[in-house]
Amino acid sequence: MEKISVKLALTLVAVALLALATSGVFDRAGFEYTERSFKRALVTFAVARGLNAVISVAQGTEIAVEPAGVGVNFTPGQVLDPINDLVEQFSWVMLASATALGLQRLLLDLFAATPFTWLLTAVWLGALLLLWLPRVAPWGRAWLLRLGLLLLVLRFAVPFLAMTGELFYGAFLHERYAASSARIEQVTVNIREINEGTEQEAPAAVEEGASLLERAQRAYQSAVSAVDVGSYLHKYEQAAADMSEQVVNLIVVFLVQTVLLPMLFLWGVWRGMGWLWRLPLPAAPQRGDGADSGVP
């Protein structure tokens, strides 16, 4: 004989979860957290592209020097080439992270949509009806209960993932992200200023037929530029001194939040759904059984 308390507990839990699903409170929280992560990924992607742009300008800026009358062009910005390669890869990581968060937002919209909520409600109404009236379609009782449990998992899995990821970020990743982002933005400004300095100090070309004084000025500017090449190399190296570490820190932040945690969560959901599907549920009474019929 089935205990009334088990039926009552299952009914109350199902009704509470259906009310939560219908209210949309959990969905709004999940959507808010997802939006925060999505905007943060887009901003970081823009920062990475900005750094890549100023490095590309630095690599293309030349300083002309004419030692002993022989023209030589130096590009001190080439010292940033390894950093630029890392930043380009970082840009791809950020694009993938933003895409993953966009997909998460799409799943939030899908499982919070009215048709899915109606389907969830209809399945549970049928399951609860068969739970309390076991002699009505006994063959579908266990299947409807299992289907209802699976739909509940799908309904709340994505909002729970969004909230868990954002809470994990706030607890363990926020300080690392803030420090590395601020450092990358400052380096972008520093490299831009160095680029402007190299462009302003580039010696002008001497036109044919120039006076002796103009040629002397050109020679002096070339000599100064020859001295400045080393200083510009040093400035670029200083500007990007710890850039690899900062970029790797941000890569770790977004890979943990958009790859590692979702993979662990999906693995847990998959195992949980398998467990729910194998969960022993109240069975329909056999023919001749007096439980629920009032027959002793």
Specify the amino acid at residue 152. Answer: L
**SS3 of 148-161:** HHHHHHHHHHHHHH
Residue 193 lies in a domain: yes
Residue 49 lies in a domain: yes
Give CA separation, 246 vs 76, 90, 125, 221, 251, in Å.
22, 11, 53, 37, 9
Instruction: Please say whether the beta carbons of 63 and 224 come within 8 A.
Output: no
Taking each helix axis from N to C terminus, what angle separates 243-255 and 81-111, rounded to the nearest 10 degrees?
Answer: 20
Instruction: Please say whether the beta carbons of 222 and 65 come within 8 A.
Output: yes
Strand boundaries in the chain, DSSP class E: 63-65, 72-74
Residue 226 lies in a domain: yes
pTM value?
0.75
Residue 140 lies in a domain: no
The residue assigned the tokens 């063959």 is 139
Instruction: Please say whether the beta carbons of 141 and 131 come within 8 A.
Output: yes
Taking the C-alpha atoms of residue 181 and residue 184, their distance in angstroms, rounded to an integer, is 5
Instruction: Please say whether the beta carbons of 152 and 138 come within 8 A.
Output: no
pLDDT in tens, the chain (296 residues): 457 887 888 889 999 999 999 998 989 999 999 999 999 999 999 999 998 888 888 877 665 555 544 444 556 667 788 888 888 899 999 999 999 999 999 999 999 999 999 999 999 999 888 888 867 666 677 788 888 988 999 899 999 999 999 999 999 999 999 999 999 999 888 888 887 776 554 444 444 544 555 554 555 455 544 445 667 777 778 877 788 889 999 999 999 998 899 989 889 888 888 887 776 655 555 544 444 444 33
Q: Which domain holds residue 252?
A: 24-110+158-278
Phi, then psi, of 133 in degrees rounded to 5: -125, 70
Residue 235's pLDDT is: 77
Residue 231's pLDDT is: 73
Taking the C-alpha atoms of residue 171 and residue 140, their distance in angstroms, rounded to an integer, is 45
Taking the C-alpha atoms of residue 102 and residue 158, their distance in angstroms, rounded to an integer, is 12
Count of domains in the chain?
A: 1
> The tokens of 101 are what?
């968060």
Q: Which long-range contacts (CB under 8 A, 24 or more apart) does 139-145 make?
A: 139/284, 141/281, 141/282, 141/283, 141/284, 142/281, 142/282, 142/283, 142/284, 145/281, 145/282
Residue 133 lies in a domain: no
Residue 146's pLDDT is: 86
